[in-house]
Amino acid sequence: MIGNFKLAYGFGTRPTQLSDGSSKTMMMSEVIGFDDSRDGRGGWILNAMGSSIFTAKTGPNSATHDVIPMCAIRNIPENSPLRCTENRRNGDVWAAARSEHPGGVNVAMCDASLRFVTDDIDLAVWRAMATRAGEEGIGALE
C-alpha cells in the first residue's frame, strides 16, 4: 500500500547519512508510560513527545519535569519524576529518556548495538549521541 497517508513514507535517514557514525548515534531509548487515558507517555503508536519520542534536552532520568502535549498532571504526585507540564500551544515540548532501572537507561544505537547509559553522563555527550551529523566529539564512548 503506497500513499501519502503513511507517516513519513519515502523519508528517513540512510546509514551513509550518519556522519557521526552508526555506533555513536542513538536510534531509540526507553520511556516510561503513565497509566492514565489523558497521558500520552508510553503510547508506542502515538507520534507525540513523551509517548514514544524523547529528546536529549535533559539527561537520562532527569529530575527536570517533561513538557509534553498530553500530561495527566492531576494524578501525578508532586515529587514524582514523572511530574510534567502540558503544552499544546506552540510545540515547545521535551521529554527525557526514562527507565525504572537504577542509575540509567538502555539505548539502541544505529549500528544495532545496545548500551546502558548512566544518569550521570555528561550532557554534552548525551546530546552528541542524539545527533546523526553534528560531528561532535564523543570520546567517552570509545
In a domain, 119, yes or no: yes
- How many domains are there within the chain? 1
Domain ranges, residue 50: 22-128
What does each C-alpha distance from 62 to 21, 54, 123, 134 come to in angstroms? 26, 12, 11, 23
121 assigned to some structural domain: yes
Query: Using one digit for the tens of pLDDT, what is the confidence trace for 1-26?
Result: 455 555 566 677 777 787 777 888 89
Segment 64-86 shows an average pLDDT of 88
Q: List the 26-29 sheet strands across, edge first.
A: 26-29, 104-109, 114-118
pLDDT at position 127: 93
Query: Between 42 and 61, where is the model more confident?
Result: 61
Cell of 112: 544495532
Find the mean pLDDT for residues 51-80.
90
Give the residue from 6, 3, 17 showing the smallest Cα distance to 131. Answer: 17
Q: What is the DSSP letter of 72?
A: -
Higher-pLDDT residue of 109 and 6 is 109
Half-sphere exposure of 10 (CA within 13 A, CB side): 5
Average pLDDT, the chain: 84
How many residues make up the chain in this entry?
Answer: 142
pLDDT the model gives residue 46: 78
Strand locations in the chain (E)? 26-29, 66-68, 84-86, 104-109, 114-118
What pTM did the predictor assign?
0.81
- Among residues of the chain, what percentage have pLDDT more than 90? 46
